[in-house]
Amino acid sequence: MKRTVVAATAFAALVALVGMAAPAQTILYSFAALPGSVDTCRWFNDYLNTDRSIDAMTRQTDLLYNSIALPPGAPVALGASATSARGSALVDFRLGGKTVCAGSEAIYGPTPSPSESASPLPT
């Protein structure tokens, strides 16, 4: 009898721990996400319009064909982040049991750009 109680308690604790590991971020904007890790997005961004080989174009077409629309407000579990050669911030995350990647703006919102320097007031 005690083994059953101990096993049930351990199972309840495990379920509670899994529940606490819920995603902490939500999708802010509707973007298209590519299937795969952040390395996939980095490769796609770095070689888009530069590598015209048949293999590269086939892979790019496959990624675009299998891209998904991100639903705003959906909870996600963030994974890795990276920066493309052009300076774009990229992240990957779990959505619906799949790892997908997109620009970080989908999660964090647009990156603020610095304002122009203020002009001195005339005296």
Angle at 71 between CA 26 and CA 86, to 5 degrees: 75
Coil vs helix vs strand at 57: helix
Predicted local distance difference test score (pLDDT) of residue 44: 92
Predicted local distance difference test score (pLDDT) of residue 21: 45
Domain parsing of the chain, residue ranges:
23-108
Coil vs helix vs strand at 109: coil
- Collect all residues with Cβ–Cβ distance below 8 Å to 78 and sequence separation of at least 6: 23, 24, 25, 91, 92, 93, 107
User: pLDDT tens track of the chain, all 123 residues?
Assistant: 454 443 444 444 443 333 434 456 888 777 789 999 999 999 999 988 888 889 999 999 999 999 998 888 888 888 999 999 988 899 999 988 889 999 988 888 876 666 666 666 666
